[in-house]
Amino acid sequence: MSHPVSPLAQPFPEVPAIAGVTPHVVRAGYKDWGRCDLTYVTFTEGTAVAGVFTKNLCCSSEVEIGRENVKRGTARALVVNAGNSNAFTGYRGREAVEQIMDQVAGNLGCPREEVFVSSTGVIGVPLPKDKAREGVEKAFSAAPCTWEEAANTIATTDTFAKGASTTAMIGDTKVTLGAIIKGSGMIAPDMATMLGYIFTDAAVEPAFLQECLSAANLRSFSCITVDSDTSTSDTVLAFATGKAGNAPLVTAQSPGADAFAAAIQDVCRQLAHLVVRDGEGANKFIAVSVTGAVSDESARKVGMAIANSPLVKTAIAGEDANWGRVVMAVGKAGEPANRDTLSIGFGGTWAAKEGLPLADYDEAPVAAHLKGQDVTIEVDLGLGEGQATVWTCDLTHGYISINADYRS
């Protein structure tokens, strides 16, 4: 994390220890940097797992294998490598992942399919097997670490460590959720260039855990963008150890299931917002609220068209209330829209209503709003009941600077 800290950075929160989960970090040396770059997390036997993965068709072996293994529903370990994404590396990349899985499985005495591996960093360079072997071996004897240390270790161009936590009541039992994530650029659904991990002591059946995570993803990670680019390595995994001792959550009808689902969604939204706040070169956090669409999904697509528009994002960077660019983005979204029912505003002040600029539009409050770090764009399509909110950041010279020298 050598770049200046984002002006939108948030301090790392108190993320509590999760019963049945033990994180460790070591330096494997995947890049020439003086920092830890391998995170190793172990789970108690019987831990449930669920996952959502990138839809990028050139995904890494880690994603391909993880997508299959998550169907088994149980996990004993997680290994995350930073500095090398191991994507577009063919059979050599897959062999490196399988080596790590076998090494960890041998140490823990579990099936290799219960070992999950993620990698992030430069694309097209096979993960060095020797460094992987030595790094994992060191991890076996490493002391437990804090969640902040684990979050720092999985980072690449991130400028601050990202974590979140919450609790939920399942009957009379309090369950705890803690999470870490990395992500800063190559951010767009589905999902974003990020690796995110959620840990809970709740007892949850794998199928319901998957249901909760998939639903939360649609309202969080699939509603953020930094640069419209979808990564080869995106992964979010949720692990549930069952150590809280609650009556297991089996379906949405289980007592307390609604509270747990809400907690998962809360944590995912916290993490998603942190990724946007660390968008490469970002100076402003932008919420795009779309109402009046023909459906919620249509509203989300319109919102993403606005959030992904370089012209909209540079206008916000320049604190310019150029609402014509928002009109353009709505019109190109490929979703139902009508210029004569369209309304656009910034920060709660409407600039145009039902297809026309307001005769008494006063740009002063909008200009003041755009000078702040948190910006909202409101769009009402006037067509139906569909609504969605998506989140992005502005586009500055900093984004170019970071990505022009990414490999160096």
Hey, what amino acid is at 18? I
Question: Could you say which DSSP state residue 217 is in?
Answer: H
* Closest-CA residue to 384 (of 323, 300, 298, 304): 298
d(CA 305, CA 171): 42
> Within the chain, how many helices (H) and strands (E) appear?
11, 14
* Closest-CA residue to 64 (of 180, 261, 235): 235
d(CA 291, CA 396): 28
**156 among annotated binding-site residues:** yes
**47 among annotated binding-site residues:** no
CB atoms within 10 A of CB 172: 8
d(CA 61, CA 116): 11
**222 among annotated binding-site residues:** no
d(CA 50, CA 66): 10
d(CA 113, CA 2): 35
Tell me if 197 sits within 8 A of 49, measured CB to CB.
no
**280 among annotated binding-site residues:** yes
Query: Of 176, 193, 225, 232, which residue is the catalytic one?
Result: 193
Based on the residue annotation, tell me whether 157 is a catalytic residue of this protein: no
**408 among annotated binding-site residues:** yes
C-alpha neighbours within 13 Å on the C-beta side of residue 64: 16
**74 among annotated binding-site residues:** no
Hey, what amino acid is at 202? A
- The residue to which tokens 């390595």 are assigned: 233
**Binding site listing for substrate:** 156, 182, 193, 280, 403, 408
Q: Which residues are catalytic?
A: 193
**Binding site listing:** 156, 182, 193, 280, 403, 408
